[in-house]
Structure formats: structure tokens, C-alpha cells
Chains A and B, each alone.
Chain A
Amino acid sequence: MDHSFLRGLLKKYREGNASPDEIELLHTYYDAFELMEPDPTNSEEQLNERKGRIKYAIDHAIAHQEQVLPVRRLRLRSWLIAAGLVLAAGSGIFWWMQNSTSGPKVADVQSTPVSTDVTPGTNRAVLVLADGSSLLLDDAQKGELSRQANAIINKTADGQIVYENQAANEPAPLVYNTISTPRAGQYRLTLTDGTKVWLNAATSLQFPASFNGKERRVKLTGEAYFEVAQNAAQPFIVETPYQTVEVLGTHFNVNAYKDEALSRTTLLEGKVKVQSGTSSQVIKPGQQAACIQAGSIQINEADTEEAVAWKNGYFKFNKADIKTIMRQLERWYDVEVEYYGAVPTDLFVGKINRSENISGVLRILELSKVQFKIENRKIIVGSK
């Protein structure tokens, strides 16, 4: 039963011409290998690297098969080496996370230990009322905080702000309030029409205390997720520096940070019209409208889960480069990032809980070829 005999069998097997006896023989031959030694490389670090590398290739192939935006494909192709890390989804895939953040082997490979630590962001914001007075929302007491136009501003037990319409005989004057989160802050807000807004760190939203008139118009810088209350008679409009999003009633995320190259609107449900300069486009659920500057809109299929991960309490990276990741960490941990030497080209795939201290996040990222040093609130990024 030599090599060429087996080869003949394998060929018949592949062509579907093998007899039951031949199939059984081949399967038994195959099964005999079960007694062979497995791959001896089994250090946690090597296994994680391998796991991430394979998963990266899978995700990459999926993205190709299921058609991604041309821009992204191009960018992906230019990255030759991709050290993908499949990271844990917060407490979701926690066993892996715990292993990789607390395992001694991981700590051993860090040439630069994380010396100090930075805690994650918390629920805090500043609310500026129409008269210019401001309320600090991190430790403001529960219950009614103030009244504006026809709205009562309440802070609920779970720490969010709710604007409630107050019955009134006269239409309310149009007065604007602004809620701003600092870096390392986030906040939730319900507007008088029932629209729910999640504000990410370093974000500012200006909105009328009560909506009246033909439209519901708010202004945003930074990033927010909206669940707009249905009202066909009064379209909801989000204005950002480069794009204006007009909706009837939907769920969508707007990312319009000044330090991000693209301003992006990602739609989860319903329908929205995105306008930028003189051009406008309607996007469907699962799509993202990206504007580099006023007037240019590019529609892409989006990873919606990635787009709203922040709202659900984690970072999700889908082949993100280190700079994209670090911009998010800068905002959420209120740190400054500096690059030492060449910027690492690794791509990252995975999820990390936003409630981790920054060291927890950096340790996971350090499983790639990137390494970090924390100096007070400054993170220095280098290559291994």
C-alpha cells in the first residue's frame, strides 16, 4: 500500500469514483493520523497569533466575497502584512480576554511594561441652557433639573437626561440647549419628541428645548447614535460640518469628529437622506455615507456593529489600522498619543470592552507587532 497506490485512491475519491471499500480504506488511513502528535507550538502567545492570523484571513476573504467598498479594498490590498487580532467582546468572549490580559506569557513578551494606567471614560457631560447657564451632569442630582421653553429637564435614576414636553397653551419659543461630553465622557439624552440620543466622548449636540415648526433640526460635532421618534410631518435633521442627515424615523450613527478624515453616517434601520454641499444621496440600512469634505458622498456597505459598538460599551475594530484605533482611545481615555518611529502597519480585528482600563486594551493590542509606553496621560506607540 504505497504512495502511488494511495494517490490513485485519492484521485478516485476526489472524482467521486471510489467504491465503499476504497472510501473506508482511505478514511481509516486518514483516521490513523489522529495518533500523531499535534502541532507542538502551543504557547498562548503563539496560539493567539495564529488564531488571529487565520481569522483575519477569513474576514478578509468574506469582505471580498461579499463585496466591500472599492476604497477599502484598495487600502486593504496595500497592506501586505496584517496581524489580525481577534479580540474578546467585552465580557462576551471573556475567557479569551482574561487569558490574554492576565496570562503571564503575554506579560512576558512586553518589552515595555505598562507602567501607569488610565481609567476609562464615564457618564458625564455639560448642559448649557438657553440663558447661558450650565449644569454639570456627572453628579447632578436626580429629578427635575430645570425648565426650558415648554420642556421639563429631568435626570433619571440611570443617569440620563430626559426632556419632557409640558402641556402649554402657547407654542414654545425656539430656544436652544447644548449638551457636550468631554473626552472620556459619554451621555444619553431623550429629546422632547421622544428621540433618543447617545453621545460619545468629545461630542457636542445643539438642539431646541422644544421642537416646533416644520422640522426638528439639531447640530452635531463628534459622534452620536440616534433613535429618532417617528414623525413624518416633522423631519428630523442632523447637521454636521460636512453633511446633513435628514430622516423621518430611524436608527443611525453619525460620526463627525474633526480629527477623522471622513464624516460618516451609518444607517441601521429605516431610511435617511444624506446631503453634503450640493449633492445628496439616500442610504439604506447597512450602508454608510462617507464624506471627505462638503460635496462628496461615498456610499459603502458598512459593518454596522462596528459603527455603533461604542454605544454598546465596546470598541470594535474591523481591520482598523493603529491610528484609527488610537484616535478612539484618545477620546475615550482622554490621553495623548505619540508615535515613535515608523507607524506600525498591522491591522486589527476584534472587540474590546470600553470599561477596561487603558492598560487592558493596550496589552491586547500588544499581541501584534505594536508596543506601547504610558507616560502619565501620554501613550507612545512604537513597533517591536
Chain B
Amino acid sequence: MPLENLTILTDAELLEALKTDNSLAFDTLYERYWLIAYQAAFKRLRDESAAEDITQDIFLQLWLRRQELQIEYLKSYLLTSVRNNVLKRMEKENRILPVDKLLEEITIQKGAADAALIEKELKRLYENVISGLPKAQQQIFRMRYEQDLSTAEIAEQLQLSRKTVQNQLGKSVQQLKESLLFWAILFFMK
């Protein structure tokens, strides 16, 4: 494949070339999409090196799995990969921005109208999730996460054992407690 033509090739053509181990095609795709992937990760994690790691990882996977991957739209494939990686990292490294903080940030950066729209949508979806739970569990959930009561307080109010409350809240209460320690720690930095 003549070098001169690589940049004018479409994603689909470059992906074909990738299957024949053409590293120049890979370089060209990297050139084309690295920044999109990087910024997508950065917006969520606000951390340069975490965003770099994710960008690195998704392109590495693109190369290593070049034979097996069936990609129709490269950009959406890459952005989905970024999302998977970011969500994993949010959990693993406890880089979770609570929704109220997120809305605050959006209000500052984009204005109240945008923030309100997002808030409405998130609320609706949250209700969907909660209403999908059995009644008893729903109540415990709301007390725990909306009224911010401790499991001991919930147990007392509902006349349940603390153990039951914990079970209802799901497996890893210990994990939740740990995460509460980070409640005050904003991972959002300037």
C-alpha cells in the first residue's frame, strides 16, 4: 500500500489493512482518534495520566485483537471501549463523582438549563431502578441512600436486625462503608 494514500483511506479500509498487520494503518488510525479517546476519558476522570493509560490500553487492544474484532464504526467502538475502561476505573479507584457534584460542575461550565435537563433524566432513571426493587428493599435503599441513614439507624427504625438491613442493601456493605470514608474526598481536581 503506498504510503502517500494512507491518510485518505477510510476507517474501514484502514481496519482491513490492520488485519494484514499493517502497522502504518494502525499509526494512521491512532493519529486520527487518539485525542477523541483521550478527551473522552479525561472529561470523566479529570486526570491526565489515567486518561493516557486508557487511551493506550484501548489502542493496544485494537492492535492485539485486530484479527478477531469486527468493527463497523471505529469511533463508536473506541468510545465504547473508553466507557468500559472509565467505568471500571471509577469503581476500582473510587473516582466517583456524586451526581450533585456533577450537576454543580455542569451548572458552572454549561449553565443551569443543561444541568436541569440532566438532573431530570437521571432522576427518572434512578426511579426506574429503585422501583424495580422489591418493596422492602426499596425502602431500605431510600433510607440508606436518600436519607443517608446508617444501617444501624435503619435497623432500629424498621425493627430489623442490622444483618438483615445489610443483606438487603447488597453484598459488600464493608465496601460501601469504605467508600463512605471517601465521601468527603473530591477526586475532582483543578
Contacts and interface: CB of A to CB of B under 8 A. Distances in A.
B63 A62 contact: yes
A24 B128 CA distance: 10
B138 interface: no
B176 interface: yes
A75 interface: no
Main SS class of interface, B: helix
A21 B127 CA distance: 9
A95 interface: yes
Contacts of A303: 23
Chain A interface residue bracket vs B: 35 or more
Given A35-B109, A305-B24, A11 B87 contact: no
Interface of A: 1-11, 13-14, 19, 21-22, 24-30, 32-39, 41, 47, 50-51, 53-55, 57-58, 61-62, 65, 86, 89-96, 303, 305, 312, 314
Contacts of B172: 8, 11
B31 A37 contact: no
Nearest to A303: B23
- Which secondary structure dominates chain A's binding surface? helix
Most buried by B among A8, A37, A65, A303: A8
Contacts of A13: 87, 91
Contact of B106 (A35, A91, A95): A35
A28 B122 contact: yes
Nearest to B121: A28
Contacts of B102: 29, 32-33
Interface in B115-133: 118, 121-122, 125-126, 128-129, 132
A157 to B, nearest CB: 21
Interface in B135-187: 145, 148, 170, 172, 175-176, 179-180, 182-183
B50 to A, nearest CB: 11
Nearest to A89: B3
B98, B100, B170: most-surrounded residue (chain A CB, <10 A): B98
A30 B106 CA distance: 13
A81 B25 CA distance: 27
A12 to B, nearest CB: 8
A50 B51 CA distance: 11
A39 B30 CA distance: 18
